[in-house]
Amino acid sequence: MHQPLDNANYSDVAAFLDAVNLPPRSKHNAASKGFYFDTEKRAHFYGAGCDTARDVLRLMANGWPEGRARMQTLLDGMDTSSLVPRDTRRRLRRCELGDAVNIGDVYAGRWQTAWTRATRQSAQAPQRVDLLVDVSIQGGRNHDELFWRGAAAIALCDMLESAGYMVRIVVGFSGVLVADRDRKASCRVTVKDYDKPLDVSTASAVMLPGFFRALGLAWMCNHSPIKCSESNGRLRSLCGTIKTEEGELLISSQVSDENTAKRWLATQLNRLGACDVAA
């Protein structure tokens, strides 16, 4: 089933890929699928040796070990040792009245420490953190920026979850269709939910330029209720705005290399009240 062009949400990457394969809502956009999936060969534009959107889909389905390795290299090269979030995991504390009693302490008369209670190290920091990574990228931009955005998201997720937080990572893209300037597109795809482990291979694959430049544009053509492409099937779009949820931490064009990624990490940890570092 098609989702709204201007406010689509997918629970995982597989659901989004299924939506990319749907037939167009408008028959006038049928040529778009052929353009992105078969006609145009744009390996330099999509990355990872993918000539077409069909190749990008195959890579997403089968995994991208090279992308995982490259992402890990970026993470290993980032010195984030000074960015240590406050620990929010529960710790057992001894008290006069709590959840459990040590009968040995009672018999020994140690009433002040006979009971234990599980408490968090920090009650000020939020227990759930939402990250939104913007994978929209203009044609003239260096697609390495997407990898740094992904590295920043993965690094923050790893730091926060190690300190007891629950983290969700969503990727999103947006656009304004040139054929109709009032027709806006916004799509969100959950890559990692709060209670799930992070799949670095999947997180790396959605940072591939072809995820937006091939699959994202094909998705827009499929979900537009009006004709939105040129005669050859190519979609022309301008930058738009992704629909965000309250409290989400957005990673967008402000992250483009290691230095900006580290500054973003420090800023977000300070904003969360999870760490006192210089942004």
Euclidean distance between CA atoms 266 and 165, whole angstroms: 17
Residues 172, 188: contact at Cβ < 8 Å?
A: yes
Residue indicated by tokens 């005669």: 231
> Taking the complete model, does pTM exceed 0.85, yes or no?
no
Confidence band of 277 (pLDDT split at 50, 70, 90):
very low
Identify the sign of the CA torsion 197, 202, 203, 206.
Answer: negative
Segment 201-247, tens digit of pLDDT: 889 999 999 999 999 988 988 888 877 767 666 776 767 789 999 99
Share of the chain above pLDDT 90, in %: 35
What residues contact residue 174 under an 8 Å CB cut-off, 6+ apart?
A: 134, 136, 184, 185, 186, 187, 239, 240, 241, 242
Average pLDDT for the chain: 81
Token couple for 30: 């049928």
Compute the radius of gyration of the chain from its Cα atoms.
23
Higher pLDDT, 182 or 9: 9
The candidate with the shortest Cα–Cα distance to 233, out of 32, 42, 45, is 32
Number of C-alpha atoms within 13 angstroms, CB side, residue 211? 33
Is the pLDDT at 23 greater than 60? The verdict is yes
> For residue 271, what pLDDT band results from cuts at 50, 70 and 90?
confident
CA-to-CA distance for 189 and 170, rounded, in angstroms?
Answer: 5
Phi, psi of 208 (to 5 degrees): -65, 135
Determine whether 120 is exposed, middle or buried from the number of CB atoms within 10 Å of its CB (0-12, 13-18, 19+): middle
Main-chain dihedrals φ then ψ at residue 103, nearest 5 degrees: -65, -30
Question: 């597989």: which residue's tokens?
Answer: 14
Could you tell me the pLDDT band of residue 85, with boundaries at 50, 70 and 90?
low
Q: Is-contact 143 134, C-beta < 8 A? A: no
The SS3 call for residue 89 is: coil
